[in-house]
Amino acid sequence: MSVQELREQGIHVALVSCYPPSTGPLSEYSYHLVKEYQRNSRISKVTIIADRVGDTKEKPSGRIDVVRCWSLNDPVTFFRIVKKSFELRPDIIHFNILFRQFSSNRLFNFLGLTAPAILRLLRRRVVVTIHSLAESLDIVCYSAPIALRLHINTSKASLGRDTEHTTSSQFRMESSSRQRGSSRSRERDSCSSERLDRTRTQN
């Protein structure tokens, strides 16, 4: 579908995120995000591909529909999301997620984070909003376990090459630079004080 056709017919957005009454990550944020989607006249329909909450089944409300098909800590969550995305055939799939969104288990979480990459490879329009990154991790530190480095680097690749990351190595370099600048400033102040003392003694 061309951009012109999307403008004329309206955009069908699929939002992948936790959603109330779930108390999972970003569920409240997603609730307000959907409200903003509703105010946008260019969006004709919003389908929320949300996490399961017991036997909860929501009925479509206006332009909003909630489909609960995946669960936290489920190793096949990525497959459920990809499958449901192809069944719904939305114009855009928006992932509203944390870096540690799908599971506290690193492997399960990594599998969940591959869903955007798989959909992009299958030529779907995908938007990813990441609300937090592992900023304190040294991604280039080779003393870290191989499995952890593989998880981080592959997750970065799956979420797109343009994603910006702040690593602890960069932070250390910036801190070191600031410390050197502060040290030079103190040395200059000390030299100035010594010259002033000598001038007063001579007078």
Spell out the per-residue pLDDT of the chain, length 203, in tens.
555 665 667 899 999 999 999 989 999 999 999 999 989 989 999 999 999 988 767 777 778 999 999 999 999 999 999 999 999 999 999 999 988 889 989 999 999 999 999 999 999 999 999 887 655 455 555 444 555 455 545 555 555 544 444 334 444 444 555 555 555 656 666 655 666 566 556 65
- Asked if the structure places residue 56 within a domain, the reply is yes
- Asked if the structure places residue 189 within a domain, the reply is no
C-alpha separations of 52 from 11, 18, 133 in Å: 25, 9, 25
Q: What is the pLDDT of residue 115?
A: 94
CATH number of the domain encompassing residue 75: 3.40.50.2000
DSSP state of 89: -
Phi, psi of 17 (to 5 degrees): -175, 165
- Asked if the structure places residue 30 within a domain, the reply is yes
CB 173, CB 138: distance < 8 Å: no
Measure the CA–CA gap between 70 and 5, rounded to whole angstroms: 31
Q: 33 Cβ partners below 8 Å, 6+ apart?
A: 15, 17, 96
Q: What is the pLDDT of residue 61?
A: 76
CB 27, CB 18: distance < 8 Å: yes
How crowded is residue 37: how many other Cβ atoms within 10 Å of its Cβ? 19
- Asked if the structure places residue 149 within a domain, the reply is no
- Total domains, the chain: 1
> Amino acid identity of 4?
Q
Domain that holds residue 76: 3-135
- Asked if the structure places residue 150 within a domain, the reply is no
Q: What is the pLDDT of residue 153?
A: 55
CB 102, CB 72: distance < 8 Å: yes
- Asked if the structure places residue 81 within a domain, the reply is yes
Q: What is the pLDDT of residue 197?
A: 60
The dihedral formed by the CA atoms of 26, 71, 114 and 12, expressed in degrees to the nearest 10: -70
Q: What is the pLDDT of residue 179?
A: 56
Q: What is the pLDDT of residue 14?
A: 96
C-alpha separations of 26 from 9, 10, 41, 86 in Å: 30, 26, 25, 24
- Asked if the structure places residue 187 within a domain, the reply is no
The distance between the two most distant Cα atoms of the chain, rounded to a whole number of Å, is: 91
> Amino acid identity of 53?
V
- Asked if the structure places residue 145 within a domain, the reply is no
Quote the crossing angle between the two packed helices 106-121 and 77-88, to the nearest 10°. Answer: 30
Q: What is the pLDDT of residue 145?
A: 52
Q: 113 Cβ partners below 8 Å, 6+ apart?
A: 78, 97, 99, 101, 102, 155, 158, 159
pTM of the model: 0.64
Q: What is the pLDDT of residue 168?
A: 40
Tell me which residue has tokens 């801190």.
175
